Structure 1
Amino acid sequence: MNDDRIRMTRMKILLAPAATGSGHNMRVLALAREILAQQPDAELTVLLASLQSTFTPLFTQAGVKVVDLAGGKPVDYATRSNLGRRMDWPGYIGGYLAPAFVNGERILHYLALIQEHRPDLVVSDYNMSASMAASILGTPHALVTERYDFTLCQLDDETLVAGGFDIDKEDLRRGRGALHACFEWIVNSAEVVLTDKPPVGELDEGTPVARALGEGGHAVFTGPMVRRFPERRDGAEIRAELGIPAGPLMVGSVGGTTMFLENKQRVIDCYLEAYRILRETRPDLRFVLLGREQVDAPEEVIQLDYLPDWMPLLQEADVLLSAPGWITVTEVAAMRIPTVFVLGSLSEYHEVEAARRLELLGFPTFVAPSAEELAGSLAPMLGQRPDGGQATPAQLAVAPDGAGTALAARHLLAAAARSATAGGAAAGHRGGR
């Protein structure tokens, strides 16, 4: 990429985060802020499909125009089960994957929006429908992804059966083939592919993104695409604002997309029981539970709704408990926050690959642990709050240079500049490589 100053004539970028999970919105928000910091006269529009009440003001404050794709209807994938136990073509491919990711009506909607806005670049954050629409029109598009292939393609049948699914092996074989072809087309047609997930050979060999990182050459591992970190504030001030008494602090996060609500409840119960066990020897221990809904918990547990900016809280915490959602992984790794990752069950299949990667990279990671196991892992971390300067090898693997947002924004601006300089959307299209 040429690092010379990019000449722009009112560059237009259309941002399309996936609707599943808050992390995609947050990553796109971080990229938007950085793009505008580097190119203040760029015209950015986000096509927002979920958590509109939370993110519309955040994007607006950042100087990004918002198009509400849901027409004001609130969308939140974290407050319901999103999957059934039967995994076959009608139930899984037709009933879940197609509506959520390869959605014909949504592709038509994106086609119309791209034609109306005429952007120099469409930035898709794992939004397959937006990527496909841009490719159909010949509009240059960038793929931002923590997936090296569709999730199903990096999981075998045995793992799904172990997760309690009733599978149709032939339907899943055909589904994997179709999804892989779709993802490969999107990766190969993109102007640039940006990933914040470090490659691990035994997990990623043969995937479209791994090939693009190598022989394709148009994919880049950027490191975390996250918000700028705030200056460390006075801990007593942060605690006073959030109502947290003095003492060692652990934070448990239970937001994000879930396949089965009972898994979320299982994780909450495990967190609470581990907290009870730890309090037997650390009576001054404090526990903040972050979620989208209030749950039945002891009075001394501090429950907070979704925090758009949780960084001050994390800077005060001894340890974070979290599902292995990748955007969270990158943020806490870049901030050097000690974290234990917990997956409630293998039936949360969309995060199994991430959990395996984290374990291979050296993070403490559990799948359906007992409360005793979890408490045993947490105990040595309490009272050892870091100063933020010391990174573990695992954190360095994910975030070797801290945040990679500036690098990612430079690549996106360069892709948009190629299109604008060439005089139109079609001029920059890669044409399927």
Structure 2
Amino acid sequence: MKKILLAPNPTGTGHNMRLLAIGRKLKHINNNLEITVLLGSRQDIFSQLFESEGIRVIDLNPTGIIDHSKNSHLESDLNWETMISNYFVPTFFNGDKVLKYMNLINELSPDLLISDYNINATIAAITSSTKNVFITERHNFTLVDVEIEDLIIGGFNVNIKEINAAKKNLQRLFDWLIMNSDLVITDKVLLASFKTDVQLLKYKSKVHFVGAMYSERSQGVQLDYGELQIDKSKPYIVGTVSSTTMLKQDKEKNISVYISTFNELKKTIPDLQLVLLGTSDKKQKNDDVIYIPYLPSWRQLIENSLLVISHPGWITVTEVSYLNIPTVFYLPNFMEYHEVEAYRRLEQLGLPVFNGEDSKSFCELIISIMKSDKEKTFSGYKILSPDKNGINKATNLINTLVEEGEPTL
């Protein structure tokens, strides 16, 4: 029996969801695996989801549920102290967490650790001489991917010298991580116009783009529209609010822009409803605006919607591209710097993007998308999800590494 340790980054639900899909598929193709997940966020939702797949859960914070959407992560001043000392080190490069992961690795003796952009767990695996897989939707640390000019446009007061120094040294650290990982899997298409992609391709023998690693969030679940307070006889659009924001006020601003844009849209579509995901602690309805805190299985909801509006969080990008769901990717501003690179990438692929607070312009864009030739408007989806085999490719690579020591497609 081979032991697999899953270590999702605890900063967002997407990391949990991707490793849930991979863990489920690995169990399906190899009955000789004992899989454990080190769960560090949204344990209230994901403990049951992992356990239902026969995956053992170790709660890294058993005294309380961690939800990173409740707090801000950055200040408007961007310098070494605010970016590295106060944010990056506690969250991604934390010596205490590295040692705790090392202790767990020593106790559990896994044959393989699979990290979903969990830098601390990857460092622990490398320093413990444990075979490891690094799964990522980012081709470097986020700050390295973002141009100084975009940070300034976003409204940050940037100490250019200190941030450039941070970017340079973060690049060195990421390069070390990739060099010492046994296998790197990404669901973000590699483009020659992004310098971090070019740098990652230095290791092309171990770096594999597999496309969307999509798997049903919950098998065979039918949505109860009545319970969700959605009138199924009327059209609706779905707006998602990012589960992790750099600035807490941006989440409130996001909701405000969605609602004001929705009010503009109702002038054209009077019976339209707006379904907001990730906006409150309980389901509620205010006129034609429905608030839903979290929905593990949302395929039926978005497939029956007129349109989805979402931050360019990559787990969502891959899912809507896989399912071919018309989506406009939105940022309230570029202070949400962790999604600027994805925004620029989608923009380059010709997919509809919007940022700012101009509700009338946002409304005009949405109406134009609804009237457009969808196949042409969303042709970029074919680049993001070139086939339907991403999850199979990823798990076959991992399984081969476990069983034979050399990953092959």
Question: Which TM-score band (shorter chain)?
Answer: over 0.9
Classify the secondary structure of the residue corresponding to 2:70.
Answer: coil
User: Which of 186, 194, 203 is 2:194 aligned to?
Assistant: 203
TM-aligned CA distance change 1:180 to 1:76, over 3 Å: same
CA distance in 2, matches of 1:141, 1:233: 34
Classify the secondary structure of the residue corresponding to 2:398.
Answer: helix
Give CA-to-partner distance per residue, 1:155-186, whole Å, 9 cap, x none. 22222122121222222122112211111111
CA distance in 1, matches of 2:264, 2:93: 45
Whichever residue aligns with residue 220 of structure 1, its letter is H
CA distance in 2, matches of 1:138, 1:231: 37
Partner of 1:33 in structure 2?
Answer: 24
Partner of 1:306 in structure 2?
Answer: 294
User: Which of 196, 214, 222 is 2:210 aligned to?
Assistant: 222
Partner of 1:279 in structure 2?
Answer: 266
- Of 204-213 and 358-367, deviating more is 204-213
CA RMSD in angstroms comes to: 2.5
Deviation at 1:393, TM superposition (A): 1.6
Partner of 2:123 in structure 1?
Answer: 132
TM-aligned CA distance change 1:405 to 1:279, over 3 Å: same
TM-aligned CA distance change 1:88 to 1:233, over 3 Å: closer
Retained in 2: the 8 A contact 1:31–1:226? no
Retained in 1: the 8 A contact 2:242–2:313? no
Give CA-to-partner distance per residue, 1:29-70, whole Å, 9 cap, x none. 011111111113311010111111111111111111111112
Partner of 1:157 in structure 2?
Answer: 148
Partner of 1:96 in structure 2?
Answer: 87
Deviation at 1:206, TM superposition (A): 6.1
CA distance in 2, matches of 1:303, 1:362: 31
Classify the secondary structure of the residue corresponding to 1:143.
Answer: strand
User: Which of 349, 355, 362 is 2:350 aligned to?
Assistant: 362
Classify the secondary structure of the residue corresponding to 1:270.
Answer: helix
Structure 2 gap ranges (5+): none
Q: Does 2:109 correspond to 1:118?
A: yes
CA distance in 1, matches of 2:261, 2:285: 13
Partner of 1:189 in structure 2?
Answer: 180
CA distance in 1, matches of 2:261, 2:161: 41
Retained in 1: the 8 A contact 2:115–2:122? yes
Retained in 1: the 8 A contact 2:113–2:125? yes
Give CA-to-partner distance per residue, 1:288-328, whole Å, 9 cap, x none. 11114169984221111111111111111111000000111
- Of 333-342 and 274-283, deviating more is 274-283
Retained in 1: the 8 A contact 2:3–2:34? yes
Whichever residue aligns with residue 253 of structure 1, its letter is T
Whichever residue aligns with residue 296 of structure 2, its letter is P
- Of 324-333 and 242-251, deviating more is 242-251
Partner of 2:73 in structure 1?
Answer: 82
Classify the secondary structure of the residue corresponding to 2:239.
Answer: strand
Deviation at 1:101, TM superposition (A): 0.5
Partner of 2:383 in structure 1?
Answer: 397
Retained in 1: the 8 A contact 2:139–2:196? no
TM-aligned CA distance change 1:303 to 1:280, over 3 Å: same
Partner of 2:305 in structure 1?
Answer: 317
Structure 1 gap ranges (5+): 1-9, 420-427
User: Which of 40, 51, 54 is 1:60 aligned to?
Assistant: 51
- Of 154-163 and 36-45, deviating more is 154-163
TM-aligned CA distance change 1:208 to 1:115, over 3 Å: farther
Classify the secondary structure of the residue corresponding to 1:362.
Answer: coil
Deviation at 1:118, TM superposition (A): 1.0
The count of residues paired between Structure 1 and Structure 2 equals: 405
Retained in 2: the 8 A contact 1:238–1:313? no
Partner of 2:255 in structure 1?
Answer: 268
Higher relative contact order (CA 8 A, sep 6+): 1
CA distance in 2, matches of 1:268, 1:169: 32
Partner of 1:169 in structure 2?
Answer: 160
Retained in 2: the 8 A contact 1:291–1:305? yes
Partner of 2:35 in structure 1?
Answer: 44
Q: Does 2:331 correspond to 1:340?
A: no
CA distance in 2, matches of 1:391, 1:243: 31
- Of 106-115 and 173-182, deviating more is 173-182
User: Which of 15, 18, 40 is 1:24 aligned to?
Assistant: 15
Partner of 2:393 in structure 1?
Answer: 407
Retained in 2: the 8 A contact 1:248–1:382? no
